[in-house]
Chain A
């Protein structure tokens, strides 16, 4: 149990935004990067561009689907949560990136948020990170029955679905910006080999 905990910490410490950016950039393995205002239109454009690229490369269709699934949940999460109390934080816009590192497709997002919500988000991600495939399936089933569509149109099921579809733990980091606001980065990895994701 303790070993698992240390593993989470090690994984999160390894994952700094700059470190991942460096890895992606140095080998020209960034597929797409977008920073700024996010909207449904942006989501559609990003999906279309990525789909076209993967079709052209002949990527395995089940890997493609998993990536697409994760991308939609991540992009729509950004749309719903990109502003802090409906205010844009101009020096810290939201960002979305997709790239390849080793054998994994990395789907990365960043956005500012109120420091006061960090505990809630962290505990949700930590929870899904402890669960295996069957555990995630059971949690999804239970959460979906209990959920309501929120004011911003979400069902609170995104992290569970991201963990299920990616087949890997969700990595994340929170960096303070000022006394009220932090910047949240997350990374979902989808293995290039479909069977490895199971």
Chain B
């Protein structure tokens, strides 16, 4: 499977999906004009996952718009599928300790998603 690295900008997040370095992270800000187009490579990458036994998927977003909120839910659904196929998946939700909304968003996802969820403040 390929490595996917997308540099972040003021309205799109940094994406690192790198099995060789055991690093899987979406970080920064997510308010792209077209969430479907932006995140398509992420979905393609998830569909291509193989030869990985453990996958800690980090989310470390400063902000995400409502369309991104929906897409994240879809991404987490795909991670559920990976877990069902035997991969040890954990979603790590990172949030700034003074960002209550981001903490709450993580808690809401953790209630919905059938994948082990870790909430980590920084």
A160 — which chain B residues lie within 8 A by C-beta? 66
In-complex Cβ contact of A73 among B66, B99, B101, B108 (8 A): B66
Secondary structure type dominating chain B contacts: helix
Which of B11, B70, B98 is the one whose CB lies under 8 Å from A144? B70
Contacts of A141 in B (CB 8 A): 108, 112
> Which of B16-24, B31-39, B46-54, B84-92 touches A?
B31-39
Using CB atoms, name the residue of chain B closest to A150.
B67
Q: Are A62 and B11 in contact (CB under 8 A)?
A: no
Q: Which stretch (A64-72, A88-96, A178-186) binds chain B?
A: A64-72
Q: Say what secondary structure dominates the interface of chain A.
A: helix
Which residues of chain A come closer than 8 Å to B117, judged between CB atoms?
A: none
Q: Mask for B90-113, Cβ within 8 A of A = 1, else 0?
A: 000000001111000000100010
Is B45 part of the binding interface, using a Cβ–Cβ cutoff of 8 Å?
no
A40 touches B11 (CB 8 A): yes
A positions within 8 Å CB-CB of B = 40, 43-44, 47-48, 61-62, 65-66, 68-69, 72-73, 76, 79, 137, 141, 144-145, 147, 149, 153-155, 157-158, 160-161, 165
Q: Is the CB of B35 within 8 A of A65?
A: no
A149 closest partner in B (C-beta)? B36
B70 touches A155 (CB 8 A): yes
Residues of B within 8 A of A47 (CB): 10
Q: Kindly state the separation between the CA atoms of A72 and B69 in the bound complex, as whole angstroms.
A: 13
**Is residue B61 contacting chain A, with contact meaning CB distance below 8 A?**
no
